[in-house]
Amino acid sequence: MKILIIGSGGREHALAWKVRKSRWVTKVYCAPGNAGISQVAECVPVPDHDVRGLLEFARAKEIDLTIVGPEAPLAMGIVDVFKRKGLKIFGPTRAAARIESSKAYAKFIMEKYEIPTAKTEVFTRPQDAKRYIKNIGGPLVVKVDGLAAGKGAIPCEDEIEALKAVDRIAKGEFGEAGSKILIEEYLVGEEASILAFSDGRHVIPLESAQDHKRAYDDDKGPNTGGMGAYSPAPVITKDLESRIYDEILLPTIRGLASEGCRYTGILYVGLMITNEGPKVIEFNCRFGDPEAQAILPRMASDFIKPVLACIEGKLDKVKLRWSRNCSVNVVMASGGYPGKYEKGKVISGLEKVGAESSVVFHSGTGYDEAGRLITKGGRVLSVTSLAPSIQDAIHCAYQEVGKIEFEGVHYRKDIARRALYHMEDM
């Protein structure tokens, strides 16, 4: 099979790396890809939002299956376009992708189908949102409805902060995404991510993971696209796994189906494990980044089989196998990220990353005119290490990270430390 992967980040590198291992696969293309991805796939210079260009490419190369990494092309309806032309593509339709592209729609589904989540009110007029905030007081979370590159949720300690957040949205900081404002109850607990394959009727959860969104150690500093991840997340016990399946995954997929939005693809659930049980913080309509870099290296089964089963509505025939090893993924970012940062720094030491159980996934890398590997984005690359215990995986990942250098490099030193606290509790 000839596969096209759409996207250019660490998630897409992990996807390309995993897809290439499948015995069904003869050729992998990635649009547009990056320097690291070019080592496992042929990169083609078509941007991920150029739906027409991607369609032309897929037709010209007779692609058998397209796998979409990021949310933007899904929200634009790339799956609808490819399907209309008779091309196989993995991901939800535009209507089903609203579960991520509209937080108000996600809340509508959760309320209607009684899926546990934070209490929320949706407003179209900022003055109404403000009146509501003054009534209930803080802490609370102010969110914009639409896609905002992970920056659309503003946690607020008190009423003053929340009112300021509404002003920022009203002034247009989030553009069209801010045309509806959500005011949410502030949930307390530990976060975790559960991703699942879905064919619209059946769901198969992947192994759990935990992301690290804040820029600095001890969850300090601004939110980022994700500074690292690990899998499994010990906060997700066996009991919680089945509650999440029964109370969240299945009712969401069934709810969407009865709304006429059969959901095919990866459903990502961002969870808060509260005292009352698991509650949904957000849905994403795709693999998480960096969760994909922690989860896919643990997947022992072929990746193409469940993907095709999702598209064909036969997911009930599939069983996934997983490595017993734990994984730890540490992201190396440009100094200053997620604020201002410089690009073009030469990356060295990759050839020293030797541990067989480690793999490097690139996010923002490229080549300069001299053919040297350079930084090209905020998140530059990441190392995933696998080991029988989370402690060993942490040790191994940081040992490998220590071998890679570029000017201004920043990475968190505490990835997966929270998992160790759980071990102490056991």
Interface residues toward ligand GLY, by CB under 6 A: 150, 211, 226, 284, 288-289, 291
> What DSSP element (H or E) covers 73?
helix 71-76
| Residue 10 contacts ligand AMP per CB under 6 A | no
Residue 338 as a binder of ligand AMP (CB under 6 A): the answer is no
Task: Kindly tell me which of 64 and 289 has the beta carbon lying closer to ligand GLY.
Answer: 289
Q: Which does residue 289 bind out of ligand AMP, ligand GLY, none, counting CB within 5 to 8 angstroms by kind? A: ligand GLY
Instruction: Rounding to the nearest 10 degrees, give the CA dihedral for residues 15, 18, 24, 30.
Output: 40
User: Which pair of structure tokens corresponds to residue 138?
Assistant: 């803080």
| 282 lies in the site for ligand AMP, by CB under 6 A | yes
Closest to ligand AMP by CB, 186 vs 245, is 186
Residue 66, classed as helix, strand or coil, is strand
Question: Minimum distance from CB of 189 to ligand AMP (Å)?
Answer: 8
- Least distance to ligand AMP, CB of residue 393, Å: 23
Which among 40-48, 186-194, 300-308, 338-346 is the span making contact with ligand AMP, rule CB under 6 A?
Answer: 186-194
Which two three-digit tokens encode residue 194?
């559960």
**Does 118 participate in binding ligand AMP (rule CB under 6 A)?**
yes
DSSP, res 202 = -
Contact 244, 206 (CB under 8 A): no
Contact between 155 and ligand AMP per CB under 6 A: yes
Applying the rule CB under 6 A, the residues between 259 and 278 that interact with ligand AMP are 270
Amino acid at 145: D
Supply the DSSP string of 96-119, one letter for each residue: TTHHHH-HHHHHHHHHHTT--B--
Residue in this structure with the two tokens 């609370």, named with its chain if needed: 140
Tell me if 213 contacts ligand AMP by CB under 6 A.
yes
| Contact partner at residue 187 from ligand GLY, ligand AMP, none, CB < 5 to 8 Å by partner kind | ligand AMP
Considering only 24, 108, 132, 186, the residue that binds ligand AMP (CB under 6 A) is 186
CA separation for the pair 405, 401 (Å, rounded): 8
- Cβ 303 to ligand GLY, closest distance in Å? 18
Q: Which is nearer to ligand AMP, 213 or 422 (CB)?
A: 213
Which of 206, 236, 281, 383 binds ligand AMP (CB under 6 A)? It is 281
| Contact between 116 and ligand AMP per CB under 6 A | no
Which range of residues in 148-156, 175-183, 292-300, 322-330 is near ligand AMP by CB under 6 A?
148-156
Which listed option, ligand GLY, ligand AMP, none, makes contact with residue 184 (CB within 5 to 8 Å by class)? ligand AMP
Rg of the chain on CA atoms, in Å: 21
Interface size with ligand AMP, residues (CB under 6 A): 16
DSSP state of 363: S
Is residue 141 a contact point for ligand AMP (CB under 6 A)? yes
CA-based angle 66:8:106, to the nearest 5?
A: 70
Work out how close the CB of 206 gets to ligand AMP at its nearest, in angstroms, rounded to a whole number.
18
- 187 sits near ligand AMP (criterion: CB under 6 A): yes
Query: What SS3 state is found at 1?
Result: coil
**For ligand AMP, what does the binding mask look like between residues 25 and 64, x meaning CB under 6 A?**
----------------------------------------
Residue 201 near residue 257 (C-beta atoms within 8 A): yes
CB of 42 vs ligand GLY, minimal distance in Å: 25
* 191 contributes a contact to ligand AMP by CB under 6 A: yes
The H or E element containing residue 144 is strand 140-144
Of 116, 21, 2, 76, residue with least CA distance to 323: 21
CB 41 within 8 A of CB 321: no
Residue nearest to ligand GLY (CB): 288
- Residue 135 neighbours by CB under 8 Å, 6+ apart: none
DSSP states along 276-336:
TEEEEEEEESS--TTHHHHHGGGB-S-SHHHHHHHHHT-GGG----B-SSEEEEEEEE-TT
The entry of ligand GLY, ligand AMP, none near residue 155 (CB within 5 to 8 angstroms by kind) is: ligand AMP
List C-alpha distances in Å: 316 to 133, 200, 349: 45, 11, 45
Under the binding rule (CB under 6 A), the answer on residue 106 touching ligand AMP is no
Q: Cβ-count burial of 166 within 10 angstroms (0-12 exposed, 13-18 middle, 19+ buried)?
A: buried
Determine the 3-state secondary structure of 174 from DSSP.
coil
Position 227 contacts ligand AMP (CB under 6 A): no
Shortest distance, position 185 Cβ to ligand AMP, whole Å: 6
Sites of contact with ligand AMP (CB under 6 A): 118, 141, 143, 150, 152-153, 155, 184-187, 191, 213, 270, 281-282
